[in-house]
Amino acid sequence: MNAHSATPLDRRDERTHLFLVATLATADASMAVRVRNLSATGALVEAPGLPPAGSQVVLRRGALEARGKVAWAGAGRAGLSLAAPVAVSAWLPTRESARQSVVDQVAFGLKRARPPVAVVGATADANAMSPDAAIADLVRLRAELERLGDLLAQDAAVVESHPEIQLFDIAVQRLARIVEALRPGS
């Protein structure tokens, strides 16, 4: 639901699907979030421990800021209803610094890439591993990277000064695709 719609299903503004790290602030706290889509009047964000529906929030990315409220929240995701329309183009990766642009381009490319057919070097002695052991090793690696990325993303200063932190999430998603491709019957 946003400022222009009567129900969550009546969305009038076109959404742009993207992958950005931003900061979501309430009166009491601030946290790093992943912005998954954005329209002029709303956004979909992901993070553990998001504020509940009805909370007043400020979404920030660099010098950009959008005020609004949480329209709904659950399972590590929340829909934001923005108080005033934003220029979506200003939030797009190409408007950021050259370093951020490179990170966003890598994310875009990886999101559309097909999983590779084989995994090279899951451990130093990958040739001696059974396929099941290699898959189990990749699943553990994915969990470790996800945990590390989430820990780093909780520090707003780290996120702001190191936008490449997004690469942890990209790596986790890529490992999930690789594991699925390697599982028997895929």
Residues 111-131 pLDDT 10s: 445 443 333 343 444 456 788
pLDDT at 97 (0 to 100): 46
Structural domain count, the chain:
2
In a domain, 10, yes or no: no
CA atoms within 13 A on the CB side of 134: 21
pLDDT at 174 (0 to 100): 84
Q: Note down the domain range covering 128.
A: 96-182
In a domain, 8, yes or no: no
pTM of the model: 0.51
In a domain, 9, yes or no: no
Q: Among 55, 70, 88, which residue terminates a domain? A: 88
Are 177 and 100 in the same domain? yes
Are 62 and 115 in the same domain? no
pLDDT at 11 (0 to 100): 53
Q: Among 31, 58, 88, which residue terminates a domain? A: 88
In a domain, 75, yes or no: yes
Q: From the CB of residue 132, how many other CB atoms can be counted at a distance below 10 Å?
A: 11
C-beta separation of 178 from 115 below 8 A: yes
Are 118 and 68 in the same domain? no
Q: Among 88, 122, 141, which residue terminates a domain? A: 88
Residue pointed to by tokens 């200003």? 90
Please report, as a single letter, which amino acid is at residue 180: E
**Regions in the chain scoring below 50 on pLDDT:** 1-10, 95-98, 104, 108, 111-112, 114-126
